């Protein structure tokens, strides 16, 4: 294999009449729960902390309200890398592929767990030394309170506060995606300007939430009933939404946003 200067890993997927979740190293990389078909891709370097064996998990699900996968549906996925320093796709390295049609009737769910090997030129701590919480005894109110703090920062457009809480995330994403010298405060300001310009309104903090755990219980989040993230903007005129998932960890007795 040709050694890449900036190895950039992509998960590419194509599906029809099914829903699915993609997890990389037990973190949610992509979720599709609105039915129909989709053909897209997303980078995954920020879920890869160092070179070596990585884990992938797929949950392939029936459409909402149905109990089995439709026989005319299918799901295809592959993971490949290319050298982002060249900006060209002419030399790629495929490391994982899975394809499945659902011609066998009455298949309720497909769960796939597998591995792939990644070679990268960085190493980031991520959640490796973060505190693992016990789902049975965790103080959910403590986590909800932290999310309320984050929510209020978004509501008030408190760029300095958001930046402080997201500093771990920004640093690791900038490193893993080879973004160079990025002014993340300017990026946040631009985001708020675009949301305001698009007439998006931040949805109220929900009365009930669900606590979710990932990566050996070292990464956590709370979501709204139905699975949407706490930070959800909505345009009532166009029915469009903007979702901002927040994954947190706990280190040195403090919560911080990690992804």
What pLDDT, in 10s, does the model give residues 38-93?
Answer: 999 999 999 999 999 999 999 999 999 999 999 999 999 999 999 999 988 888 99
- Altogether, the residues listed in the chain come to a count of 259
Task: Identify the H or E element spanning 159.
Answer: helix 159-165
What tens-digit pLDDT sequence spans the chain (259 residues)? 568 999 999 999 999 999 999 999 999 999 999 888 999 999 999 999 999 999 999 999 999 999 999 999 999 999 999 999 998 888 899 999 999 999 876 778 899 999 999 999 999 999 999 999 999 999 999 999 999 999 999 999 999 999 999 999 999 999 999 998 899 999 999 999 999 999 999 999 999 999 999 999 999 999 999 899 999 999 999 999 999 999 999 999 999 999 9
Domain residue spans of the chain: 7-118, 140-257
What pLDDT, in 10s, does the model give residues 181-195?
Answer: 899 999 999 999 999
pTM for the whole structure: 0.92
Is residue 117 within 8 A of residue 80, CB to CB? The reply is no
Q: How far is CA 224 from the centre of its chain?
A: 16
Is residue 86 within 8 A of residue 111, CB to CB? The reply is no
Closest C-alpha among 223, 239, 175 to residue 28: 223
Q: In what order do the strands lie in the sheet with 254-257?
A: 209-214, 219-224, 248-251, 254-257
Report how far apart the first and last C-alpha atoms of the chain are (Å, whole number): 30
> CA angle 90-85-174, nearest 5°?
130
Is residue 135 within 8 A of residue 212, CB to CB? The reply is no
Q: How far is CA 149 from the centre of its chain?
A: 21
């Amino acid at each position: 294999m040709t050694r890449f200067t900036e190895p950039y890993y992509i998960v590419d997927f194509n599906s029809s009449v099914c829903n699915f979740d993609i997890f990389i190293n037990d973190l949610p990389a992509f979720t599709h729960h609105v039915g129909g078909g989709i053909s897209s891709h997303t980078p995954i370097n920020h879920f890869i902390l160092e070179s070596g064996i990585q884990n992938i998990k797929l949950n392939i699900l029936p459409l909402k309200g149905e109990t089995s996968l439709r026989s005319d549906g299918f799901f295809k996925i592959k993971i490949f890398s290319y050298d982002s320093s060249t900006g060209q796709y002419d030399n790629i390295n495929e490391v994982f592929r899975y394809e499945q049609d659902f011609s066998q009737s009455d298949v309720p769910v497909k769960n796939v767990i597998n591995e792939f090997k990644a070679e990268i030129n960085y190493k980031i701590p991520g959640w490796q030394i973060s505190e693992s919480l016990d789902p049975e005894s965790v103080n959910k109110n403590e986590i909800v309170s932290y999310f309320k703090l984050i929510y209020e920062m978004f509501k008030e457009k408190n760029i300095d506060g958001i930046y402080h809480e997201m500093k771990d995330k920004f640093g690791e994403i900038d490193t893993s995606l080879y973004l160079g010298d990025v002014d993340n405060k300017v990026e946040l300001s631009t985001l708020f300007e675009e949301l305001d310009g698009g007439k998006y309104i931040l949805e109220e903090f929900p009365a009930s939430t669900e606590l979710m755990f990932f990566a050996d219980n070292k990464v956590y989040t709370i979501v709204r009933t139905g699975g949407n993230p706490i930070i959800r903007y909505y345009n009532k005129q166009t029915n469009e939404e903007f979702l901002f998932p927040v994954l947190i960890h706990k280190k040195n007795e403090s919560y911080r946003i990690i992804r």
